[in-house]
Amino acid sequence: MAEPVSIISYPDPRLKKVSAPITAFDADLRELAQQMFALMRLEKGVGLAAPQVARNIRMFVMNATGNPEDDRVYVNPELSEAEGEEEGEEGCLSIPELRVKIFRSRKLRIVAKDLEGKSIEESAEGYVARIWQHETDHLNGILLTDRMGPVAKIANRSLLKDLEERYKKQGKTT
């Protein structure tokens, strides 16, 4: 049985690590995915990557519609065939107070595995493609703070400083 998980917050250094590929498709992985879906729903998110729950593995869960039948799990995802670019507002469950406009590819393809280790190949555009890119960034140790433009960095400087101070007060260091 997988240990209970919780969302870790910026500036926790574990969020900046590149995640390791998954090789074991077992009950623990399925349990972790279920816990991640529960947390994602509780926090009203549309995606959650394993590094956000302090698991340094290449998996994310998502649901773009909120309907349970649209739950998706992607293990060891690889994005390709990016087309176009569009700007959209994003938030992050690990930096809940932050909302910023980010440029992302408009359309792309994902190749991954499901929880049983079976291959998944899909293409998407718009919102789903944005979620894939955001969550894959987490697997690569990339945060919204790394994607923000200079104006957004200035506009959110005090918020990020506050989060860093709160983190230090909890006895943690970056």
Q: What is the distance between the terminal CA atoms of the chain, rounded to a whole angstrom?
A: 30
Beta bridge partners of 79: 110
Residues with catalytic annotation? 135
What whole-number distance in Å separates Cα of residue 101 and Cα of residue 159? 16
Can you give the C-alpha Rg of the chain in angstroms? 16
Task: Give start and end residues of each alpha helix (H) in 43-148.
Answer: 127-139, 144-147
- Which residue type, as a one-letter code, is found at position 46? V
Q: Identify whether the C-beta of residue 22 lies closer than 8 Å to the C-beta of residue 76.
A: yes
